[in-house]
A and B are shown apart, each in its own frame.
Chain A
Amino acid sequence: MKVTYKRELCQGHNRCYMLAPEIFDVDDEGYAVLKIEGEIPAELHDKAQLCVDNCPEYAIELTD
């Protein structure tokens, strides 16, 4: 599982960073920064799904 993050859609709601700081950080202006570009470890799969399901701007997707 990989996380795809579209920076141009991010409006800085910070929901992903709150729910999964292991996967997302924020920059100085509060926009999300994806920390794991490659394969997401199995123990973080649920959290990755939470990031997708709680992004109000539909900026995060999962790919196999």
Chain B
Amino acid sequence: MSIDEQADAPSAGVEKAPVADWATDFDHTHPDYAANAPQIWDELRSSCPVAHTERFGGMWIPTRHDDIKAIADNDNGWYTSHEVVVNDVQDQDLLPPPIGPAPPITSDPPFHADARRLLLAPFGPKEIEKLEPFARSYCHSLLDDALADLDDDQTFDAARAYSQHIPVRVIAEMLGLPPEDGDKFRTFIHHIVENPIDRDLPYEETIDYYFDVEIEKCKADPKPEGEGSLIDHLLNVEIFGEKLAHEHVRGTLILLLVAGIDTTWSAIGSSLWHLAQNPDDLARFRDDPDVRIFAVEEFLRLYAPVTMARRVAEDHELRGCPLKAGDWLLLPFPAANRDPEAFERADEFVIDRQKNRHGAFGLGIHRCLGSNLARMELAVALDVFVERIAEFELIGRNQVRFSTGQIRGPRELPIRVKSFA
């Protein structure tokens, strides 16, 4: 099996029991969820706004915007971020709370703020803007290749030839990693995010090993602050007057790689998936550059890729449901973004939506650290796509499969080019 086939095999051999009732037997890793998530959220929101499942050792699933925002805000400290990806595996070598295995996303206050501050500057909007020409030129080069290889029907897979490569290449640039390692990164991500149960790998094939090696390389060739990659930055900075522990550096690098890739790839893919089926939106997006600042946020709202998780830290009730310490709690930001109580015409794509407080990048203290990077990549990827391809359409709509798990996006995107720009 090639890496691509392996990463795309649904649930890699794990048979999922059918879901009896989404309100009481919820399973976000089930293929039916991938196919129908928006309808499932809408039904739950109006009938049972906090769903439950015995799967994963017990998990609650709120679907209303106000509940999801309140949980993310965590004003009472009822939730911990120590684990944010739902899994059945008890890791033996987790960094203890409040640090967590992938700081700062798995860190709780007060450590969280200090760990996050180390990373805010390199991901600020003005720093990220400097990467835009690189991203733009890379997007063009991907389309140069894809359009040169078009088949007789003028078709190509925009997920495999375009969207999946963009965040991989840009994060590799930021971390100073070899661009040819992209396939490895996608395999790591598949194991961690899309199929977290299948973790029985030899050390040499793990992301831990990969970064242990890269960190050693950087240590052997130290760079002054400001001159190296983000790895060098993490090796240079201090927290509470001390250098970061090796596990902290590695955990953060894993976070940056994993969190930045299939999330953004999914957002780019979903946006192209929408444009390929809605010629009026495509024409407006292409012909009216002023609408794009709103359109990009509307893509992010309606097709938000990321669902996070928390663990309940203290017993309490949520809308009458008895949450117990240790229970999983899913935070489907995409469901919050479609709540009609929070958004007018919530289930429609409104290309110039003026009022859009979406939570695609999460809400509260764990707001996606890479949101400026992701937004830049999405905006540039769409700009370049419509600069090169004036009209395109989706072919084989039923063959497009959305990913299972906590990251949602199309894993294939077969399109036909109707006219070049």
Contact = CB atoms under 8 A, between A and B. Distances in A.
Interface in B292-325: 293, 297
B400 to A, nearest CB: 29
A57 interface: yes
| Interface of B: prevailing SS | helix
Contacts of A12: 120, 367, 371
Contacts of A29: 117, 120-121, 124
A14 B125 CA distance: 8
Interface residues of A, number: 19
A18 B293 contact: yes
B388 interface: no
Interface in B331-366: 354-359, 361, 363-365
A50 B357 CA distance: 10
A56 to B, nearest CB: 5
A14 B375 CA distance: 11
B363 A57 contact: yes
Contacts of B358: 56
Nearest to A17: B125
Given A54-B297, A56-B358, A11 B120 contact: no
Interface in A7-56: 11-15, 17-19, 26, 28-30, 50, 53-56
Given A11-B363, A11-B367, A56-B363, A30 B372 contact: yes
Contacts of B209: none
A53 B367 contact: no
Interface in B97-154: 117, 120-121, 123-126
A11 B357 contact: no
A13 B361 CA distance: 8
| Interface of A: prevailing SS | loop
B293 to A, nearest CB: 7
A34 B367 CA distance: 20
Given A14-B125, A14-B371, A26-B124, A53 B354 contact: yes
B120 A19 contact: no
A13 B354 contact: no
A42 B123 CA distance: 33
Nearest to A54: B356
A54 B22 CA distance: 32
A56 B359 contact: yes
A59 B195 CA distance: 37
A11 B297 CA distance: 17
A21 to B, nearest CB: 10
A53 B126 CA distance: 23
Nearest to B125: A14
Q: In this complex, which of A11, A19, A53, A55 has the most chain B Cβ atoms within 10 angstroms of its Cβ? A: A11
A40 B174 CA distance: 38
Nearest to A15: B297
A14 B293 CA distance: 13
A17 B372 CA distance: 11
B345 to A, nearest CB: 15
A53 B125 contact: no
Given A13-B361, A29-B117, A29-B124, A19 B355 contact: no
Given A11-B363, A12-B367, A18-B293, A54 B121 contact: no
Interface of A: 11-15, 17-19, 26, 28-30, 50, 53-58
28 contacts: A11-B363, A11-B364, A11-B367, A12-B120, A12-B367, A12-B371, A13-B371, A14-B125, A14-B372, A17-B125, A18-B125, A26-B125, A28-B121, A28-B124, A29-B121, A30-B121, A30-B123, A30-B124, A53-B355, A53-B356, A54-B356, A55-B357, A56-B357, A56-B358, A56-B359, A56-B367, A57-B363, A58-B357
Q: What 3 A-B pairs come out closest when comparing CB atoms?
A: A29-B120, A53-B355, A30-B124
Given A15-B297, A56-B363, 19 more contacts: A11-B364, A11-B365, A11-B367, A12-B367, A18-B125, A18-B293, A26-B124, A26-B126, A29-B117, A29-B121, A30-B120, A30-B121, A53-B355, A53-B357, A54-B356, A56-B359, A56-B367, A57-B364, A58-B357
